[in-house]
Amino acid sequence: MAVAVDVLWPLESERSTAVEWMRRAAEIGGRPGARSLARLISVVQDGYRQFWPQALELLQSDSVEEAPARMEFAETLRKEPKSPQAQTLARLAARAALRDAGQGLHSLGPIPIRQLIDYSGDGALRADIPPRSHGRKVELNDLGTPRQYFIAANDRGSTQISDAVLLPSGSCLVAMGEVGLKLITREGRTIAHFDEPADRVVVSENGSRIITMARRGAVWSLARVDILSRKATPWCHAEISHFAASFDGATWYVVCGQDLYAIDTTSQRFDALWRLPDLGHSVGPLTLASAKLDFVTYKDKNLWLWEYQLPQLRLKSKTLLPFSRPFETVREFRLASCSESGVLDCSAVPDPQAATGSETQSPSTSQILFRKTNGSWNEFLTLGVDEQVVADPVVTTNWLALCVASQAAERILVYSYAKGAKPVLRIEIGIEGRCNPSVRFDGSLLTIADDLGHLRAYELTYGEQIRDLNI
């Protein structure tokens, strides 16, 4: 939607076509929504009166997570035709930009800020503009030690949360299993409740459409949710072994058996636009990043690293992956890949202490390994005696997350790997007790939820906690 608007907007003759899409984008929020909001104020008749409350709410907010949207609004507004109403908003946008810059947040540079002030026509503001700030806040990747957070056993909610996702508007979707799906505000107030059961949530790139997934034995029960219209409708049942946690609004990538499918999410049935058969057994999650689909399969006693270009689903590379351990020692393969970054291996191997004649050996992972694209394997984490990795690792461009459980607590470890050969621990979140956490990256945000009712979110520029809710 936002991409279509950007394509049509330079064409004066097509702007009327783009207006309705822009309204929807502005309602969804985020950077694309802020860009559409600034354009609507300029182009729609009486747009200033219609969209003033929404623009005012954005510019008066001082939240870290909305700083990019405020910057996008200001940058777009200063390029639109001048009007008295737009100039009034430009004054507010300039003050918001100066406030963000003073707090060390991402904001407009010195030249764009001056251009915005010139656009506003406010001579007093131009004269009073402060000198350039004392410097930015220290970013997470520049800190010498990781940020640490801890959730005590008595700090909990009353709802079991199986998954959660932050939407561009700042609201949050919370999956509660058989209880259904809930849309809540930043403060935790319920906006809407959907009765469709939801153990997992798959979200469209712009946050307007949702696929809910509920376990039913060997299959998943699927439903579709339209966030803007607040409607949820049952879809179908499907056998799915692995799936992408997001989709473009029309096509969703899933694995069933040894086959990869591109599912048409607008169809009444579970229809495939593409099917790629016999790729091997998937041994980890499907990773979507920068218009690429990455995953690892096991076939013919070899591991294969796959990279597809989207949306054409064109094979870019199929690479034999050298493995870090003897295959016969592996109880369970668990690998995740991102072609722009590398491959994470937290496969389970039998505990050597269990070799006492008993046939029952509990899977154990003592070494967590990472391999940059075309690099070699490096160990970056050794687990404790009673620790194990729970759930699939989560990998995206420049970031990875692991959930590590012991008898008394769980840890969520967030690493960056933009620099050097090994991932570097940037955030550690300790949760007292066993809690079955879910972890999700959404752009520069990290969302964590669990069955103790914890809902936490962190922005990854500075590592600050932006949600601290018990549901």
List pLDDT tens digits, range 425-453. Answer: 999 999 998 899 999 998 889 999 999 99
Count structural domains, the chain. 2
- CA gap 39, 60 in Å, rounded: 19
* Residues 85 and 75: beta-carbon distance below 8 Å: no
Quick check: is 314 in a domain? yes
Name the pLDDT band for 81 (thresholds 50, 70, 90). Answer: confident
Q: What is the residue range of 438's domain?
A: 140-470
- CA gap 76, 61 in Å, rounded: 18
In a shared domain, residues 277 and 418:
yes
In a shared domain, residues 120 and 149:
no
Kindly report the average pLDDT of the chain as a whole number. Answer: 87
Name the pLDDT band for 250 (thresholds 50, 70, 90). Answer: very high
In this predicted structure, what is the pLDDT of residue 6?
A: 65
- Tell me what percent of the residues of the chain surpass a pLDDT of 90: 46
In this predicted structure, what is the pLDDT of residue 347?
A: 85
Ranked by mean pLDDT, which of 18-27, 110-119, 164-173, 381-390 comes out on top?
Answer: 164-173
In a shared domain, residues 277 and 301:
yes
**Cβ count near 45 (within 10 Å):** 7
- CA gap 69, 59 in Å, rounded: 9
Beta strand pairing status for 163-166 and 445-449? unpaired
In this predicted structure, what is the pLDDT of residue 7?
A: 67
In a shared domain, residues 323 and 381:
yes
Type of residue at 156: R
Q: Is 357 left (phi over 0), alpha (psi -120 to 50) or beta?
A: left
In a shared domain, residues 63 and 163:
no
Name the pLDDT band for 124 (thresholds 50, 70, 90). Answer: confident
Quick check: is 327 in a domain? yes
- CA gap 118, 378 in Å, rounded: 53
Determine which helix (DSSP H) or strand (DSSP E) holds 20, and give its type and residue range: helix 15-28
Taking every pair of C-alpha atoms in the chain, what is the biggest distance, in angstroms? Answer: 85
Quick check: is 88 in a domain? yes
Q: Which residue(s) pair with 172 in the sheet?
A: 166, 184
Final residue of a structural domain among 128, 156, 184: 128
Quick check: is 134 in a domain? no
Quick check: is 135 in a domain? no
> What share of residues in the chain are helix, strand, coil (percent, to 5)?
25, 40, 40
Identify the burial level of 358 via C-beta atoms within 10 angstroms of its C-beta, where 0-12 means exposed, 13-18 middle and 19 or more buried: exposed
In this predicted structure, what is the pLDDT of residue 172?
A: 95
- CA gap 183, 455 in Å, rounded: 13
Question: Of the given ranges (2-6, 252-256, 335-339, 422-426), which has the lowest mean pLDDT?
Answer: 2-6
Question: Of the given ranges (113-127, 129-143, 282-296, 367-381), which has the lowest mean pLDDT?
Answer: 129-143
Q: How many residues would you count in the chain?
A: 471
In a shared domain, residues 395 and 449:
yes
- CA gap 273, 251 in Å, rounded: 8
Residue reference for tokens 């003592």? 366
In this predicted structure, what is the pLDDT of residue 26?
A: 85
* Residues 284 and 251: beta-carbon distance below 8 Å: no
Final residue of a structural domain among 97, 128, 159: 128
In this predicted structure, what is the pLDDT of residue 2?
A: 59
Quick check: is 321 in a domain? yes
Q: Which residue(s) pair with 225 in the sheet?
A: 210, 232
In this predicted structure, what is the pLDDT of residue 29?
A: 84
* Residues 160 and 454: beta-carbon distance below 8 Å: no
Helices marked H in 103-145: 110-120, 123-128
Residue range 226-237, pLDDT digits in tens: 999 999 999 999
- Tell me what percent of the residues of the chain surpass a pLDDT of 70: 91
In this predicted structure, what is the pLDDT of residue 210?
A: 97
In a shared domain, residues 327 and 204:
yes
Residue range 321-372, pLDDT digits in tens: 988 788 888 888 889 999 888 898 988 777 655 444 444 445 555 788 888 8
Residue 319, token pair as written in the block: 């690479």
Quick check: is 159 in a domain? yes
Work out the average pLDDT over 6-30: 75
* Residues 97 and 105: beta-carbon distance below 8 Å: no
Residue reference for tokens 């997470």? 140
Per-residue pLDDT at 133 exceeds 60? no
301-334 burial, b if ≥16 CB within 10 A, otherwise e?
Answer: eebbbbbbebeeeeeeeebebebbeeeeebeebb
In this predicted structure, what is the pLDDT of residue 123?
A: 81
Work out the average pLDDT over 75-104: 87
Final residue of a structural domain among 98, 128, 158: 128
Residue 17 or residue 291, greater confidence? 291
CA nearest to 151, candidates 459, 458, 364, 460: 458
- CA gap 69, 57 in Å, rounded: 12
CATH code of the domain covering residue 300: 2.130.10.10
Identify the burial level of 351 via C-beta atoms within 10 angstroms of its C-beta, where 0-12 means exposed, 13-18 middle and 19 or more buried: middle
Question: Of the given ranges (13-17, 104-108, 331-335), which has the lowest mean pLDDT?
Answer: 13-17
**Cβ count near 216 (within 10 Å):** 12
In this predicted structure, what is the pLDDT of residue 332?
A: 85
In a shared domain, residues 346 and 227:
yes
Residue 95, token pair as written in the block: 């003050």
Work out the average pLDDT over 317-324: 89
Quick check: is 299 in a domain? yes
Per-residue pLDDT at 301 exceeds 70? yes
In a shared domain, residues 240 and 110:
no
- CA gap 284, 344 in Å, rounded: 10
In this predicted structure, what is the pLDDT of residue 361?
A: 46
In this predicted structure, what is the pLDDT of residue 356?
A: 47
Question: Of the given ranges (78-87, 123-132, 202-211, 249-258), which has the lowest mean pLDDT?
Answer: 123-132
In this predicted structure, what is the pLDDT of residue 359?
A: 41
For residue 326, how far is the Cα from the chain centroid?
34
Residue 102 or residue 220, greater confidence? 220
* Residues 394 and 244: beta-carbon distance below 8 Å: no
In a shared domain, residues 106 and 155:
no
Q: For the packed helices 84-102 and 110-120, what is the interaxial angle rounded to 10 degrees?
A: 150
In a shared domain, residues 61 and 34:
yes
Residue 330, token pair as written in the block: 């592996």
Work out the average pLDDT over 30-54: 85
In a shared domain, residues 170 and 30:
no
